[in-house]
Amino acid sequence: MRYLVDTHIFIWHAREQYKLSPDVKAIIDDYANEICVSSETLKELVQLWNKKPHIQKWWKTPLDLVRSVEDEYYFRVLYLHKEHYETYAKLRINEAQEHYDPSDHLIISHAITNRIPLISADGKFSFYRNQGLELIENKE
């Protein structure tokens, strides 16, 4: 089965596995599953490398970080296309919890459009279930 992981789930898998719930770890570690990230995650990873010194300890350059997604961790990158942006344009935003992060919205739209379960620990994501998001929550 295919799964899309949120950016922080990728980082936790790569460097902080103790933050992954047993269920999420089992999904990622099952070689029968195809674990994917959105191309939006690559952008977020570069931004995080530039902003967070602790990430710079784990990867020498942002390019090393981006390359590691497929080359070291074997996560497949799924690229955004017009249909993902159409879903993004129609997405109702979780204003009650002030969830205004456009990268989160693109990743959610990617999962909805491709009908792929999204693995995340972000509590604000459950709002999007009624818009077609299949969410697997990482509960620490």
CATH number at residue 49: 3.40.50.1010
Q: Where are the beta strands (DSSP E) in the chain?
A: 2-5, 34-38, 76-78, 118-120, 135-137
The per-residue pLDDT for 36 is 98
Q: How many domains does one find in the chain?
A: 1
Q: What is the pLDDT of residue 34?
A: 98
- Asked if 128 contacts 135 with a C-beta cutoff of 8 angstroms, the reply is yes
pLDDT of residue 54: 83
The domain containing residue 62 runs over which residues?
2-137
Q: What does the pLDDT look like over 66-95, one tens digit per residue?
A: 999 999 999 999 999 999 999 999 999 999
- pLDDT exceeds cutoff 70 at 129: yes
| pLDDT of 128 higher than 70 | yes
Mean pLDDT, the chain, integer? 96
Structure pTM? 0.95
C-alpha distances (whole Å) from 22 to each of 13, 29, 30, 125 are 12, 10, 12, 20
Beta strand 2-5 with 34-38 is: parallel
Question: Is 140's pLDDT higher than 70?
Answer: no
Residue 122 · residue 6 · CB < 8 Å: yes
C-alpha closest to that of 116 among 133, 92, 128, 94: 133
Query: What does the pLDDT look like over 41-65, one tens digit per residue?
Result: 999 999 999 998 888 889 999 999 9
